[in-house]
Homo-oligomer: A and B are copies of this chain.
Amino acid sequence: MWEEINMIKIYTLGGYEEVGKNMTAVEYNGEVVIVDMGIRLDRVLIHEDVEFQKMSSKDLRKLGAIPDDRPIRNKKVVAIALSHGHLDHIGAVGKLAPHYPDVPIYGTPYTIRLAKSEIKGEEYFEVTNPLYETNYGEIVQVSENLAIEFVQITHSIPQSSIVVIHTPEGAVVYACDYKFDNNHPYGERPDYKRLKELGKEGVKVLIAESTRVAEETKTPSEAVAKMLLEDFFLYEGMEADGLIATTFASHIARLQELIEIANKMGRQAIFIGRSLAKYTGIAKQLGLIKMKGSRVLRSPNAVSKVLKEVSQARENYLLIVTGHQGEPGAILTRMANGELYDIGPRDTVVFSAGVIPNPLNVAQRYALETKLRMKGVRMIKNLHVSGHASKEDHRYLIRMLNPEYIVPAHGEFRMLTHYAELAEEEGYMIGKEVFISRNGHVVEIPGSLEG
């Protein structure tokens, strides 16, 4: 009886069968905190003529593009926490938050501003939830029993967090999308101190990403990516003519590195592409990026005019463009199609990004590279490091937090099982203390008998 009341239920709503559309809900004594509301872009991509922003949550759910939140629809939701600003974590806010009308949404400032941008673009629903920018370290009491906290962590977007839901039974720690970067070039650091404290206070459940747990190493620091870029640009690159870099628009640290490199090279960094403008714009508001020496092109006119100038004096510029995955409509994709700029043998394209291993993506990137190669463009790939923890980082997190139970998340079944094997190495018993769940299932964590 007591046990039932004290039970913690983990609703694994999305991201437990894929990398994408992350959504998890934590219930304690009838109250629910939702963490993340993401989209799964590849499920949109396989269908033609999908206009995401105009579609209902029901239709998108059927496509598998957003999480199916029906298991918690009628629950008493007291808060929505957003861990960080990537679309697979916040991209469905405009579609799903309206299901919980007055429930407040919390996140770090950069995350919240990106969520607002998503909500602004939403065309099907009206979103009325209040949004609150929360700082690392604040503990926000969201009900009598529950509080949430954002612990500083490093990832490939600024102000990422490990989300903690404090319950009377102990903390539920949601660590999806993080790495332990001890040498981040702009000073971001994992808050090991707080993580160790949490471990001492008592962690009931750890919900951890499993995306790269099969890599039996420690994920390299962003400082390594910076060095890879400098190693090319500041040496051989000094002799190059046209230089074009492409990376994730939300990866502000990477963009900062590119600006600094351009400055060192005596070139002007020019950002082209809508999402680059969006993410750098918000980052600038918050003082997260120094744009000095660079320029952001917003209007099609500006793009067309400036690129004409660039093509006359390529050696003066470092173009930073969208399209690293060959996305249709992105700047690099359009260049490869012969639009905007006469890209050719005088240009070098630096991919500061890996290839996302989804067949549709692989095909788009293949088409992009094929076209660039046919035009004689030089390409340099993989000047990049991942933002996701590897096996040995995960082990360290487990050792710091010493959780009673573990729920692997953020991955396909195969990835979740790899995480479970790590947990087993650390002494957890599969099926008793570490639970592999599926989208739509509930993991029930027994509470203390004393209540």
Contacts and interface: CB of A to CB of B under 8 A. Distances in A.
Interface of A: 43, 46-47, 64, 180, 182-183, 215-218, 220-221, 223-224, 227-228, 230-232, 234-236, 337, 359-360, 362-367, 370-371, 374, 378-383, 392, 395-396, 413-414, 417, 420-421, 424, 429-431, 435-438, 441
A384 to B, nearest CB: 9
A230 B370 CA distance: 39
Nearest to A229: B218
The 5 closest A-B pairs by CB, nearest first: A363-B363, A359-B366, A46-B367, A359-B363, A182-B235
Contact of A183 (B47, B227, B429): B227
Contacts of A231: 182-183, 218, 220-221
B424 A431 contact: no
B363 A64 contact: no
B381 A216 contact: yes
Given A182-B235, A414-B417, A441-B431, A221 B227 contact: yes
B359 A217 contact: no
A47 B223 CA distance: 38
A213 to B, nearest CB: 13
A424 B396 contact: no
A224 B228 contact: yes
Contacts of A421: 413
Contact of A362 (B47, B359, B374, B383): B359
Nearest to A223: B227
A396 B238 CA distance: 12
Contact of A380 (B216, B236, B381): B216
A430 B424 contact: no
A220 B216 contact: no
Contacts of A430: 436-438, 441
Contact of A367 (B360, B371, B374): B360
24 contacts: A43-B370, A46-B370, A182-B235, A183-B231, A216-B379, A217-B382, A217-B383, A218-B228, A218-B236, A218-B383, A221-B231, A224-B224, A224-B228, A232-B392, A359-B365, A359-B367, A362-B362, A363-B364, A414-B414, A424-B438, A430-B437, A430-B438, A431-B435, A431-B438
Given A46-B371, A374-B64, A435-B431, A382 B182 contact: no
A360 B360 CA distance: 8
A198 to B, nearest CB: 17
Contacts of A413: 417, 420-421
A429 B436 CA distance: 12
Contacts of A380: 216-218, 392
Nearest to A376: B425
